[in-house]
Structure 1
Amino acid sequence: MERQLSNTIDAALQVIADAVRDVDGSKRWSVHLLIDPTLADPLSLLEAEGRERVRVSISRTLMSEAHCPYLVPVREVGRDPLIDAALDRAMCEVEGNSSVPPGARSVCAFIASRVSAIEIARSLARRAAVSSGGERRLFRFWDPRVMDLLPQFISFDEIRNLVAPVERWCWIARDGRAEVLELADASPASGPHRPLDPGRFMNFGRINKVIDSLNLDSASYRKIDCAKIDRDIRAGERRWRLQTEYEMVSYALHRHLVGDHFDDDDEVRHLMESAVQKGDSPIVALESLSEQFWASFSGRQGL
């Protein structure tokens, strides 16, 4: 396991190095590590306490100052032990072998930009505040588990506008592979900037819980349609008036594992409708079905 993790870190390090390297000095950008200290601040563990921090100062009505993410400067890949330590920490968080709760991430990204860290921080703070139904809400787009999903939900131009003026955004995906957004070479977005509708991302936490439950290997994870999981959750809300996160995640899992129309089966539908009529959860009723039932169901469906 240690050798496999080491190989994964080496591969991620190479990807990030290639992404942020300024070979001939023409880029003239600086590289920063983006840390989210909400659940745990790893900087002391990374032996980088003496480095300057530039806080992404999000409105205190949305996030306490102590929990705001911050930027830390890093030097050239291969010559800065902080980069290696941060990557090791990120991999431990992916594997669930760290002090943060499973699924949480404190090492969020390596970013490169030609502008100052202060300007980057100001821009990220502005983008973190979104409006929904007349209310201001926090959009934690820097979280790697959010970044994993974004490309399936918004366009490249929308992502670029979201993270501007960053020109390279690198993070470790849930399967331990390094992901890179190369933003500097893109042509300018057309038309005026439009704020993102947070309603498009309201199920991101639930989608991640569905993927967590599936426990997919890297190849299977790379093929999963996260937008479909979102549609499945919304379908369950509409049809069965699902209210809790547990209900929505369970319903989406059933659609993924059993089939989109599993609840059109007469027996399943009757059981769920009876629960609703009694004021009970249709998902509790659904989960009362035995393995024998589902084996028989699969046989009838030719699964």
Structure 2
Amino acid sequence: MKANQIKNLEINKLRLNNSGTYTCKVRNKVGVSTAHFFVKVDGEVKAEVKSFDPKNVVITEGDSISFTCSVLSGVKPEIWFLKRISNTEFEEIREETFLEMERTGITSKMLPVLSFNQSSRYLIIEKRGGIWKKNGSYVSTFALHNLQPNESGEYACYGWSNYGIGFRRSWLGVHPKIDEAKFTSSNMPYPPLSTRSTFLLNLPTLSFIVEDDGKIESKAKPNHKEKQNMLVLPFILVVILVLTLLSCVVFANILLKKRNSVKTNNEIEAKADFSSRKKTKTFKPNKRNNESEFEEVTLDY
């Protein structure tokens, strides 16, 4: 039977998230014994942004979205939300409050009662003075309402403390709404085929790509019909080319046969003309000055 066995647990480079309760359990034939130890890690640790979610998302115009930033820090940090406005500049997102008034046209010595409506498009759910903790991290959330396409861009969460600063970024893309375009006889530039026609716009899908170096690239992805058109067009061109080549071959054969036929007819006519013309030489006496001469006469028949 062995006794006085010692086991050590070593944790190098302690971090704040190493704080917590640790348990040591010993077991033998007699039974089980446990001991609990609580460890709290303090120190001058800079703020570290653990997460900023959602990460790189695309939504539709008019929708809303909430970003949550989780910051790990030795002391209570300050948390900012920012939006990139240029290659080197960010602007802080602040909560906006609007006062809506309706004109009544009534004059009175008494001040009218104004209705107050908080219709903020940028709403920071946790104030800086009321940041709460979750699983040992400080958490803050802000919501964006009724988003427009021009609000697409890069957003960032910054966590700051006296010992340092940390940040994370996320890309938000706002896709414009696509509605049915209706054309009537009054606004069509050419006579319509019917009194009223409705067409559905077949626009490409907009997508956003965020690379590791932070560069953002947007691409238009062709839809299914565009892909079909891209495949049909080369096929039509190939068919037209093949038909053109076949037409040229047929036309060349016709010309060659016609030329050979004309040549054969000319040869036949030449042979017939040659055989019908026979030349014979005869001589007849021609007496002039009592001299006998023979005159050559050619008869053709």
**What's the TM-score bracket when you normalise by the shorter of the two chains?**
under 0.3
TM-score scaled by structure 1?
0.21
Bigger-Rg structure (1/2): 2
Q: Relative to total residues, which structure has the larger strand share, 1 or 2?
A: 2
Q: Relative to total residues, which structure has the larger helix share, 1 or 2?
A: 1
